[in-house]
Amino acid sequence: MLKIFMTGDNHFGKRYDRYPEIRKRLVDSRFECLDDMVKRAEEEQCELFVVTGDLFDHTNTVSVADVKRAVKSLSEFPRTVLVLPGNHDYYTGEEKVWKHFEKELSSVENNIVLLNEFKVYPYEFHEEKVCIYPAFCQSKHAKENNLGWIRDLDRPEENAIHIGIAHGALKGVTPDLNQEYFLMTEKELLDIPMDLWLIGHTHIPYPADIPTEESEITGCRIFNAGTHEQLDLHNRTEGNGFILTVEKQGAKTQVSAKRFVSGKIRFFDKNLHVRPTSETALADTLKGEFKDIAKANAIVRVCLTGSVRQEEYEKRGEIYREIFSDCLSFEVKDGELSEEITLEKIYSEYAQTSFAAKFMERLTGNPAEMQMAYELLKECEEG
Ligand SMILES: [Mn+2]
């Protein structure tokens, strides 16, 4: 039996320029979540802790302090750590980040292996033979993946567990429209006789439905845990690591898996349409939509459209503050949100006998049209 903790796309060194006020908090949290994963991997008695690429955000701009901190955290794992260079932290031998990394490795006690050669890495754990086949990246972009050398090998011996580790887009799972991210297909992976594929690059977990309680996985040999803490507004994930147990008897491989939720910071990006159905329609919509989130760890962006009653519209800033001020950061875009157009409002702006008033009266009962007509009137005035 072999037990593996897998993570990837950790992107240490990411600068979070968009959030200067909370930058330190975001950076620290990513490291704390890595510490948590290492601790969990040890509690689970995993033999391997695998990073499937993009441990670092960049090949040259990551600070020595950040490299140090990542190595320190990984070195706490008492058994073997395997680190695969991804496309953000690709390896050719020239990259600063890996020079710092290797220097750091020589100064702390560790079992960390940088998988930077296209060769088989053999291991033995409790008399179980394990062979690792890395398909690491040597550039940021590439039309072709690096699976070729593994495909060309002779059929591997049966009495060992064979694990391929690769970084790149997975067709049908990760969008890669221009085919520039080491694109792999599932068929291509499964045609290579590996017991298991550990993949990085896609920030959300695949398979998406790995439960947090251990369960046997049938029919799936390709795993991608995704980033360990959500990185930005675009990827919707809690931030996960996978814990995999592999058992091999003869030619039969059995895999069970569970998901460890490692992330704490969450980003929420919502587009909401509000209708003026009550005096509290805006507050109710926002409260309802965000009632279950842990605000202290939440970064929120809301885009509002539609219209709300005049009173609510006037105090909307106050409403946003009331609902979101406990969040780490929030941004409300309400340029497309407007005040409900009522006849009362029209009469307060135009004489009842005016064309504008008569025109609007005919649209009563159709708020969307009143809205458009009102905007049209305003445009005419401005024009
Ligand atoms: Mn990547």
CA atoms of 15 and 2, how far apart (whole Å): 36
Residue 177: what pLDDT?
86
Centre of ligand 1 from the C-alpha of residue 19, in Å: 22
Q: What is the mean pLDDT of residues 36-48?
A: 98
Q: Tens of pLDDT along 335-373?
A: 999 999 999 999 999 999 999 999 999 998 887 888 889
Q: What are 276-311's pLDDT values in tens digits?
A: 999 999 999 999 999 999 999 999 999 999 999 999
Residue type, 166: A
Is residue 156 over pLDDT 90?
Answer: no
Average pLDDT estimate for 10-39: 97
Mean pLDDT in residue range 162-167: 98
Note whether 57 and 85 are within 8 A (CB).
no
Check: CB of residue 219 under 8 Å from CB of residue 245.
no
Alpha carbon 22 to its chain centroid, in Å, reads: 18
Q: How sure is the predictor about 175, in pLDDT bands with cuts at 50, 70 and 90? A: confident
- 221 alpha carbon – ligand 1 mean position (Å): 20
Distance, in Å, from the CA atom of 163 to the CA atom of 134, rounded to the nearest integer, reads 9
pLDDT score recorded for residue 113: 98
131-144 pLDDT per residue, tens = 999 999 999 999 99
C-alpha 36 to ligand 1 mean position (Å): 22
State what percent of residues in the chain have pLDDT above 90: 87
| Residue 334 banded pLDDT, cuts 50, 70, 90 | very high
- Cα separation, 34 vs 52, whole angstroms: 14
8 Cα to the center of ligand 1, angstroms? 9
**Span from the CA of 256 to the centroid of ligand 1 (angstroms):** 26
Q: Name the burial class of residue 353, with classes exposed (0-12), middle (13-18) and buried (19+) by CB atoms within 10 angstroms of its CB.
A: exposed
Beta strands of 275-343 (E only): which ranges? 298-308, 329-339
Burial code (b: 16+ CB inside 10 Å, e: under 16) for 235-270 equals eebbbbbbbbbbebeeeeeebebbbbebbbbbbbee
The 10s digit of each residue's pLDDT in 88-124 is: 999 999 999 999 999 999 999 999 999 999 999 999 9
Closest-CA residue to 54 (of 227, 260, 266): 227
**Domains detected in the chain:** 2-261 (3.60.21.10), 266-340 (no CATH), 343-383 (no CATH)
d(CA 334, CA 339): 11
Per-residue pLDDT for 383 more than 80? no
